[in-house]
Amino acid sequence: MGHGKMKLNKIVSTLAGTLAATLAGLCVAFSLSVTSSFASGDDETPHYPLKHPKEASWSFAGPLGHWDIGQLQRGLKVYKEVCSGCHSMDLVAFRNLTALGYSDKQVKAFAAEYDFPTGVDDETRSGKITDRFPNPFASKEEAKESNNGAVPPDFSLMAKARAPERGFPTFVFDIFTLYAENGPDYIYSLLTGYEDAPAGREIDEGLHYNPYFIAGDVLAMAAPLSDDLVDYDDGSPQTVDQYSKDISAFLMWAAEPHLAERKSMGFKVLIFLAIFAALLYFVKKQVWAGLKTEGAGNARSTTPAASLVSATPKTTSAKTTVSKKVVAKKVAAPTVKAKAKKASATKAKKPAAKRLKAGVDFIDDIELVDGIGATIAKRLQGEGYGTLTSIAKLSGKKMAEVADSVGASKRYEREEWQVQAREMIAGKPPRAKVDQDTVARLSAKAKK
């Protein structure tokens, strides 16, 4: 068992080492590639976006993220009053707006404010809740014409589609901070990031400088927002910053309406797994408990057995040269065999039992074991184990059974009954002080 454990330890440490080395290698490789791409990009091709998106705080960030319904309603207002003049959102239907806290009636009224072509001549009909946010332009060409040759992209998945690279080592930390908001961060930064072009940068008519734009330093959309452009009725500040945050959150909702449910489910699953892991641990402990104790018992019993053998020469040397030879063989035998020879070893020990020590006659009585009182001693005697020698030669398993039958299943190991018995057989004095009365009583009992 010990051997198997060592093997496992080796495998685990090898695996851990390999993993660590691989990670270290990857880190070095990444940092090298990043530095080199920066170095080469510096003078000729600039790296867009020129500025990394600002990190705003979002209610839907993190494992416990949730929607701020008020914010989503404000975002919808900004979209409807400003952005929808150019941007479609053709994966979001009006009926989806009930998720933002609107009643069916309100949604119906909202839909009715939009006009849809019937396909017959130039006739139009008002919107139904099953309609989707329409495209303000009849065709791509028309969209291009009114926007300096650029088509305003659809908004349905915008917050998911734009996610500027975070670069090394930020993306490594993102794994641990669970950062996943580069979409809304990008939109927010773009909307608040318009500024004057730096000196020397000539900008064509209809283009606008913005260092947060992902595909260049200029784009065809002029800053769409300005302070007090949209009226808020909940008292929120009517600033470009607030509008930008609200529309970005709204676009995140449009792109992933079930984000909050997904997160709360994930959190519940994690809690479940944690509890489950704890339960598994305790079950494992319970299942292995018996086997472990037995193993420990065996391990303990081999040591005293070995000491029994090694203690033999001292005691027998005085006797005869013949037994000396026998003992010498026993000592030379490997420890594995020591167990098998335990029975004969204890036989060889018997002469030692007659020794005197520390003024106390060696008395082969179980009561001399520290911890065993008169009651337990009597019970043991009743079972046929009244002597130290009878206990010393028991196997760990048998000892456990005997102890159990006299009602000392927990104590015998803690008090080391067998170890004590073997010590005394080997010539050591009893662990506890034994007074003269007890000596007299026990030796009288032994003579009977």
Q: Which residues bind ligand HEC (CB under 6 A)?
A: 78, 82-83, 85-87, 147, 150, 152-153, 158, 162, 187, 190-191, 213-214, 219-221, 224-225, 247
Closer CB to ligand HEC, residue 99 or residue 214? 214
Which CB sits closer to ligand HEC, 154 or 415?
A: 154
Paired sense of beta strands 89-93 and 132-133, if any: antiparallel
Residue with smaller CB distance to ligand HEC, 247 or 345: 247
Closest CA to 136 of 83, 93, 95, 72: 83
Task: Assess contact for 361 and 446: CB atoms under 8 A.
Answer: no
Nearer to ligand HEC, 1 or 215 (CB): 215
Classify the C-alpha dihedral 23-26-32-36 as positive or negative: negative
Closest CA to 169 of 159, 179, 156, 154: 179
Between 147 and 381, name the residue whose CB sits nearer to ligand HEC: 147
Half-sphere exposure of 44 (CA within 13 A, CB side): 4
Would you say 23 or 222 has its CB closer to ligand HEC? 222
DSSP codes, 337-377: HHHHTHHHHHHHHGGGGG-EETTEE----GGGSTT--HHHH
- Residue closer to ligand HEC by CB (options 49, 430) is 49
Smallest distance from the beta carbon of 173 to ligand HEC, in angstroms?
24
Count of C-beta atoms within a 10 Å radius of residue 396 = 18
* Alpha carbon distance, N-terminus to C-terminus of the chain: 47
User: Are the beta carbons of 418 and 395 closer than 8 angstroms?
Assistant: no
- Can you tell me the distance from the alpha carbon of 140 to that of 151, in angstroms, rounded to the nearest whole number? 7
Q: Is 359 left (phi over 0), alpha (psi -120 to 50) or beta?
A: left
How far is Cα 440 from Cα 370, in angstroms, rounded to an integer?
Answer: 18
Taking the C-alpha atoms of residue 379 and residue 413, their distance in angstroms, rounded to an integer, is 17
Our CB check for ligand HEC shows the closer of 190 and 402 to be 190
CB of 166: closest distance to ligand HEC in angstroms? 16
- The nearest distance, CB 69 to ligand HEC, in angstroms, is 19
Spatial neighbors of 322 by CB under 8 A, at least 6 apart, are: none
Shortest Cβ 121–ligand HEC spacing (Å): 28
**Closest separation between CB of residue 208 and ligand HEC, Å?**
9
Q: Are 111 and 131 in contact (CB under 8 A)?
A: yes
Phi then psi for 211, rounded to 5 degrees? -70, -5
At a CB cut-off of 8 Å and minimum separation 6, what does 48 contact?
Answer: 213, 214, 215, 216, 217
Q: Give whichever of 152 and 396 is closer to ligand HEC, judged by the CB atom.
A: 152
Smallest distance, Å, CB 225 to ligand HEC? 5
CB of 213 to ligand HEC, least distance (A): 6
Rounded Cα–Cα distance for residues 266 and 273 (Å): 10
Q: Which is nearer to ligand HEC, 148 or 323 (CB)?
A: 148
The CB-of-84 to ligand HEC minimum distance in angstroms stands at: 8
The minimum distance between CB 170 and ligand HEC, in angstroms, equals 20
157 or 439: CB nearest ligand HEC: 157
Q: Cβ of residue 265: shortest distance to ligand HEC, in angstroms?
A: 29
Please state the closest distance from residue 281 (CB atom) to ligand HEC, in A. Answer: 49
